Every structure is written in structure tokens, then in C-alpha cells.
Amino acid sequence: MITLNETHDPALRSWVASANARDCDFPIQNLPFAVFRRRGGGEAFRGGVAIGDQILDMAAAAATGVFSGEAEDAASAAGQDKLNALMALGEPAWRALRLSLSRALREGAAEQSRLQSCLVPQAEAEYDVPARIGDYTDFYTSVHHATNIGKQFRPDNPLLPNYKWVPIGYHGRASSIVVSGHAFRRPSGQTMPPGADKPGFGPSKRLDIELELGIFIGRGNALGEAVPIGEAESHVFGICLLNDWSARDIQGWEYQPLGPFLSKNFATTVSPWIVALEALAPYRLPFSRAAGDPQPLPYLDSEQNRAAGAFDIELEVGLRTAAMQQAGQREASICRTNYRHAYWTVAQMVAHHTVNGCNLQAGDLFGSGTLSGPTLDQAGALVELTAGGKTPLQLPNGETRAFLEDGDSVVLRAWCEKPGASRIGFGECWGTVLPARA
């Protein structure tokens, strides 16, 4: 059951004044987690909670003694250098900590005097990947993305017959997941250019983005035991932004028959901030199938999933070229869409992943797959936005882009907004393309 409680009250204000601005990503109703430290000082990474333009240092906050009971255990776990221990505690602990944080950060809270000194400005912070990610699984939950991509390979039959029955997913690479702000080298690899009779080797010429959300698993399940869909969301800690950088030319040549490999595993970028599922409660939406689409099999169906399985999360991709950066220009928006268009829900991903007994562990990460919406300007990858490179994007400064060039930076953003509820933001997820290794 998705229920609202006092932590969602849009009238709440924080004694951290910046949290009360209307367009703030991190009001007191959000309270997302990251792992951070002050830049350049050689400090240890530890968990923190975003509030306005500040970070509440959870290691310091836990030491003040303002938390008690279940929230105290959770606060202590949240102060570690990775969030796995907090994730493993499970939903009651996360809820208890959220309630305590909400009360302690409110205007007039007695805890202000003790917590004031635990704040670190976000402007002075750097971040780490927030969890030790044991396994990373990337799904394919946008039917629009699957159809757009399928059209480029199979114009007459874009969607494979399993798509509307199976929440398609595959295993990704955990070691090369980096946090927002990381620059990475353009990958080299084998490609088979059109018309060639043998493959070539060199830097990818079709480097792309994939606009995704990342889902961090909290409580795991034992090997051999499935998680029923009705319990699935209690295993989910929260949601972040994820850019699944993809080398389309390498992918096209390597992916048959076992799926993408070197075309994806050179880098995957996540945002520092993980928004708890509970913070998103005001933005849940019913989930249903369009007329003509099959109903989900029973293991992928539940009353709660139908009532509120989906999320109303706005998504945007910005591109800033080296020339734009030099000229002091902001990034150009190249895509705007919403997570509500996904064909499979988070709960269905968890239920499907475990139905064969596969064990999830605290800190595991799912990617949603590229979250393209129903129209082409809502596509979350350049290969869709530019029709496979044939219709390059026109950027405001006169440049064009079919695929990413060296020096390009990409930012993903996500937020929830509606009348009668507080804005819930996800912050930013940046990455920059460096030239290929010589």
C-alpha cells in the first residue's frame, strides 16, 4: 500500500533555508542519500542526506545522539563509506530514519542546534558510487525504445514476440560504474562498417547515451527463493539517474547472439543521490495495459501494481559541447520525457528477476533501460533522436550532433512536480567524453 504520512506534507519547511525554495530539488520532503566528502581534503567518504543546498553528514549526525531506536541504527549505517548496510536494514528502518530526519530538520526542531554543525555545502562536496554494487542488471522497460531500435534492424517487425510478455533484462558490468562527474575515454573496438567484408578496429564512431533510472536494491533474497510481486517494493531502497553510455557501432557487430558486452561495459554513470521510494509516494500512478496488449502473467501482476505501480517522474537530457562550454553556454536540452511511459514497473522487474530463484543482494543495481517516450523527441538515446545518425541534432550554437564527439558533456535530470505536493528532484548525472586512448 502506498500511503502518505507527515513526511510528505507539502507545508513542511526546514530550518535549512535553501530547502524551502520552490525549485529546489532537495526540500525536506525528499531527503535522498549519497556518499560524499569535502573536495580535496583527503577526508573519508561517508553517507549524507541532501537538504536544500547542504548535505547532512550522517556520520557526524549519528554521533550527535539525536536519533534513537530503529532510526539510530539506520543513521549509524547511513554514515558508513557505502550505503549497503543501510540498504540491508530494510523498509521499517528506512521509514524510521526518514521520519526522524524529517522531524529533526523542520523549522523549530530542537535538533537544529546539534545538527547545524553537521552540514556540508554541496558546492564543496565530491561524491562516490553510493554502494558496493555486487551485480548490475539492465532492463529494457520502454516499449517505445524497443520499437524505435527494432525498426532500425527490422523495419517490418520491430518488436520481438517476447517483449510484451517478458520484462527483458541482461547482466551488465558492475566494475565500470562511476559516479556523476567522471570523464571517460571513448572506447575502441571491433566494428563492421556497412558494405565492408571484414571488421575494422578503432575508436567508436557512434558513441551514444541512454537515459535511464537506476534502482538500488535494499533487502536481498536467498538463493532459490523468489520475491512475490506483492513484496517486491519492500526490497527496493530507492531510485537514481543512470546513463548507460553505448557504442552503437561496436554493439551492432558484437551483440548476436549473447547480447551487448564491450559496447556498454566501458562506463556507466550514476547520479550521487538516491531518492527513497517513500519520498516518491505522492507521485505514484496506476499501471495498466493498452487495449490489445496482453495482461501480465500472474507472477507479474498484483492489485498494488495495478493501482500504483508506475511513477510520474519527469526526465530530461542536456548536451553541452566543448564549444558551448568554452563560450560559457548552458547545455542544450535534447530530450524531455517521463518515466510513466515505461511498459514494465519496478515491482515487475524485481519479481521477474527473482522468479527463478536468483538472489538479489543489498546494493545491487537495476537499470530501467532507455526511457524513451511515445514521440521521437521523447527518445532517450541519440540513435533514436537522429534516426541512426541520418538526421543530426541542430544545437543552438549552430553545431550539429549525430553521435557524441570528444569533449561533449551530457547531463541527465529528473524531478517530480504537481500541484499539492512538494517537488522531488534527483539532482544531476554528468559525464564527459575524453578522446580515445592513443
User: Contact residues for its own copies (CB under 8 A)?
Assistant: 134-135, 137-138, 140, 150, 160-162, 165-166, 168-176, 178, 184-185, 187-190, 192, 198-199, 201, 223-226, 247, 250, 253-262, 265-267, 294, 297-299, 352-353, 355-361, 364, 437
Distance CA 127, CA 240 (A): 14
Quote the least distance from Cβ 30 to its own copies, whole Å: 30
Closer to its own copies by CB, 24 or 209: give it.
Answer: 209
CA gyration radius for the chain? 21
Closer to its own copies by CB, 3 or 356: give it.
Answer: 356
Closer to its own copies by CB, 98 or 235: give it.
Answer: 235
Distance CA 164, CA 170 (A): 16
Identify the active-site residue in 8, 144, 145, 352: 145
Quote the least distance from Cβ 380 to its own copies, whole Å: 16
Quote the least distance from Cβ 307 to its own copies, whole Å: 23
Do 31 and 51 contact (CB within 8 A), yes or no? yes
Question: Is residue 144 among the annotated active site residues?
Answer: no
Three-state secondary structure readout of the chain: CCCCCHHHCCCCCECCHHHHCCCCCCCCCCCCEEEEEECCCCCCCEEEEEECCEEEEHHHHHHCCCCCHHHHHHHHHHCCCCCHHHHHHCHHHHHHHHHHHHHHHECCCCCHHHHHHHEEEHHHEEEECCCCCCCEEEECCCHHHHHHHHHHHCCCCCCCCCCCCCCCEEEECCCCEEECCCEEECCEEEECCCCCCCCEEEECCCEECCEEEEEEECCCCCCCCCCCHHHHHHHEEEEEEEECCEEHHHHHHHCCCCCCCCCCCCCEEECCCEEEHHHHHHHEECCCCCCCCCCCCHHHCCHHHHHHCEECCEEEEEEECHHHHHCCCCCEEEEEEEHHHCCCCHHHHHHHHHCCCCCCCCCCEEECCCCCCCCHHHCCCHHHHCCCCCCCEECCCCCEECCCCCCCEEEEEEEECCCCCCCEEEEEEEEEEECCCC
Distance CA 358, CA 223 (A): 6
Quote the least distance from Cβ 128 to its own copies, whole Å: 14
Closer to its own copies by CB, 26 or 266: give it.
Answer: 266
- The DSSP call for residue 166 is S
Residues that are catalytic: 145
